[in-house]
Structure 1
C-alpha cells in the first residue's frame, strides 16, 4: 500500500511522542528519540519536518513512545524510502522480542506493513533498529487491528496423485491449523537433546538431503538422514526434509570456500540461469542427475510409508544460495523442474510441497505449492507476526503457513495473542536449541509443556485418523 503525501499529512498530529492511540495515527521519526541517526531533509517526499537517515551501525535506532488506553493489538505501518536497495529493519516493542521487516527497494517514500504490535495499557516504546542498514525512516503509523476471519485454506494436495499418506498429513495439518502448533527440531542429535533435557520429544524431525548427491559424495560425504526419518516416522512422528544442494559443478574447493560449502553462491561459479538456458548442456544434465539421485532416497521413504514435508530451494530470495543468485525467474523455473521431475517422471506421491520465500515476485504458483513458509532468525521468542501476515496475504489465506526454520522458538502466548497461526516451528540445530542464548532451557521446557504446543506423544495416530 502506498499513501499519498496529502493523505499522510491529513493524519499527522505533530511529532506525537506520547499520544493516546484511538485510530490511525502517524508518529514522525524526527520527533522520536534518536540513537546514532540524524534528521535529514534532502530527499523529497517526506511528511512532517524531515526524516531519519543513518542506520549504518549496530545500535542505531529510533524510539517512539506511545500511550494506549487499553491493552490492544495494533497494525503497524512504516513510512520509509529504500533508496539504497532492498534492506531489513528490526522492530522491537517494549524492549522485548524483535520482528524483522523487509524493506524493498524504492525510489521514493512508501508505506508498507510492519505487522502487528500488542500494546500494553499505558506507555509503550517502539524501536526501529538498524538491521541490514541504510534506509530512510519518515514515520510510523498505528491503527487498531480488526478481527481476523476464519482461515480458508485448502488441504487438497497440488499433486492429484498424492497417496493416502500425503493426504493424511496435509489433512492433519489443516485440522490443527489455527488452534495448535506442532513442535519441530532440526537434526536427530538436537532432537535427542530436547528429549533428554526437557522430557518431551518434538513432533517433527527436520533432516537434510545434502549429502546424497554427486558433488558431495564424490568428496567423501555420506548421510543416514533418510534412515533417521524412517525410524522417527515409525515412532509416530512427522518428518521434514530440506536440501542444501551442493552446486553440481564449479566448486572452488579452496581454503576460503571449501567444497562442503558448495550450496552457497560464493562457493562456486555455477550459474543457474545459464544452466537452465541450455537444456542439452552439461550443467543442465547435472541438475537433472542430482534430482534423479534425490528421487532414489525419496522413493525409499515412499516405500516405507513416510510422507515428507518437502522444502526444496529454501531461502531462494536471499540470494546466498546458488539457486537464488540469479533472481526469481531461474529459481521458480528450477522449482517447477524439480516438481515435474519428482512428481511426473519419478511418480513420487508422498511429498507435501513447501515453498520457502515471502516475496510475491519469487512465488512459483499455487499449482505447485501446498504450504508456504519462511525461515526467521530474529532473537527474542516473538511471534514473527509480520512475516506470517505477509505469507497469508501472499496466498490469499488459501494455504497453510509454516515457520520452517527458527533460531528463537516463538512464545505460544504471543502466537495466540497476535493470531500468528504457524502450523509448526522447526528450531535449527546445535547452539540454537542447546546453547542457551537463543532459547533458555526454562523457556524451552515451558514451551514443550504448553497446551498450545503439540509434541510427539500428543500426535500419535495422526495418520490413521486423517
Structure 2
C-alpha cells in the first residue's frame, strides 16, 4: 500500500495545479458543503448527550394551522419562552400538506428562524393521503412503487418533489434539519401505517433514497419514531443505513420507553441517537405534575437518552401547563438554548 502524501507533498502538488495554500488546505481538510458540515456538527452534538446532559426540545407546530413563525402567538416555542423565560435547544416545525394552511415559504422561513436563533431545527412531514382520501383514510400503499403510472404514485411523488424543493432551499442556506418523514410510523390513525410494518418500512426507505440519490440532499439527520406501543420500534425499523435518530412517543404519567434496551444496543453498536421523540407528561384530566419528574426518570431509568421533545397541541402535555417548567429548564443537566 502506498504511503499517503504528507502535508508538504500535498502543498507542492496543489501549487503545481495553481491552487493557493490556504484554499488548498481548506479544501483538502474539508470538502463538505456548509449544510452537510453543519449536519455533521449537529449530529455529533446529539450523540454527546445523555448521562447528565439532556436536550430540551419542543414541537413548535404540529397541524391545526399553528404559525411556523416562532415569534407568532400560536407557536409553542414562543409559549414556552413566555412561560419559562428560556428557549428550547431544539424546535420542530411541521410541513402540513393536508390542510396547507401556509405557503411553503412560511415553513421554510420558520425553520430558518429557528436555526438562526441558535436552535437545532427539526422538520416533520405530514403528507396528504396519496389516494386522495382523508389523512386517516384508506390507501393501497404498494401502488406508490408499482410499475407504470397510477394516481396514487403520481400524487405521492409530486409531494416528494415539493418537499425536496423545500429541503433544497434550506440546504442552499446552510441549514441542517433533524428530519422525520413519518410521524409515528406505526400509528394506524394515519394513512402511512394502514398497510402494516412492511409497507411503512418500504415507504420510509423510498423517501430516504429519493432525497439522497435523486435530489442529492445531504442536510438531513434522519429521525424515526413510533408510538409508545411495545415492540413497535423494532417492528417498523427501516434499518441502520436509513436512521440516525431513534425515538419513541411517551404520553401519560408513566413516561415509558418500552424498547429501551434494544435502543441502547443500537446506540452503542450502531452509533445511533436515542430520545423521547414526543413527550406528553399527563392527560387532560390529570392534575398538573412536576416537570422535574422528566429529569428524574431520565437519571433513574433512561440515562442513555439524548433528551426529550415536548408535544404541542395543549399545555398539559408540556411545561406550559405543568409545575416547575422553569426549574426544569434551569437545571444544569438540561440543555436549553441559553446553556
Indicate which of 276, 286, 289 corresponds to 1:403. 276
Indicate which of 258, 261, 268 corresponds to 1:389. 261
SS of the equivalent of 1:374 reads strand
**Distance (Å, rounded) in 2 between the aligned partners of 1:221 and 1:236:** 24
Instruction: Report the Cα offset of residue 233 of structure 1.
Output: 0.8
Instruction: Report the Cα offset of residue 242 of structure 1.
Output: 1.2
Instruction: Report the Cα offset of residue 272 of structure 1.
Output: 0.9
**Distance (Å, rounded) in 1 between the aligned partners of 2:118 and 2:58:** 15
**Distance (Å, rounded) in 2 between the aligned partners of 1:391 and 1:329:** 20
Greater displacement, 357-366 / 286-295: 357-366
Indicate which of 177, 185, 205 corresponds to 2:58. 185
Instruction: Report the Cα offset of residue 374 of structure 1.
Output: 1.2
**2:280–2:316 CA contact under 8 A, matched in 1:** no
| CA RMSD between the two structures | 2.6
Residues 167 and 437 of structure 1: CA distance in aligned 2, closer, same or farther (over 3 Å): closer
**1:389–1:420 CA contact under 8 A, matched in 2:** no
Q: Answer 1 or 2: which has greater helix percent.
A: 2
Matched residue, 2:172: 303
Matched, 1:352 2:221: yes
How many pairs were matched up?
278
Instruction: Give the gaps of 5 or more residues in structure 2.
Output: 1-33, 61-69, 227-231, 282-290
Indicate which of 243, 247, 252 corresponds to 1:378. 252
Cα deviation, 1:345-370, whole Å, max 9, x if unaligned, reads 11111000111134323111111111
Matched, 1:455 2:336: yes
**1:181–1:421 CA contact under 8 A, matched in 2:** no
Determine which structure has more spread, i.e. the larger CA radius of gyration: 1
Matched, 1:414 2:297: yes
Matched residue, 1:27: none
Indicate which of 319, 323, 337 corresponds to 1:442. 323
**2:39–2:177 CA contact under 8 A, matched in 1:** yes
Instruction: Report the Cα offset of residue 181 of structure 1.
Output: 0.9
**Distance (Å, rounded) in 2 between the aligned partners of 1:394 and 1:349:** 23
Matched residue, 2:313: 430
Instruction: Report the Cα offset of residue 304 of structure 1.
Output: 1.7
Instruction: Report the Cα offset of residue 248 of structure 1.
Output: 2.4
**2:54–2:307 CA contact under 8 A, matched in 1:** yes
SS of the equivalent of 1:167 reads helix
Residues 430 and 361 of structure 1: CA distance in aligned 2, closer, same or farther (over 3 Å): closer
Matched residue, 2:83: 197
Alignment of 1:64-463 (within 5 A): 163-187=36-60, 188=70, 189-211=75-97, 216-217=99-100, 222=103, 224-251=106-133, 262-264=134-136, 268-357=137-226, 358-379=232-253, 382=255, 384-393=256-265, 397-398=269-270, 399-408=272-281, 411-431=294-314, 434-435=315-316, 440-458=321-339
**Distance (Å, rounded) in 2 between the aligned partners of 1:192 and 1:437:** 13
> TM-score scaled by structure 2?
0.74
**Distance (Å, rounded) in 1 between the aligned partners of 2:207 and 2:257:** 30
Q: Answer 1 or 2: which has greater strand percent.
A: 1
SS of the equivalent of 1:183 reads strand
**Distance (Å, rounded) in 2 between the aligned partners of 1:447 and 1:416:** 13
Instruction: Report the Cα offset of residue 228 of structure 1.
Output: 1.3
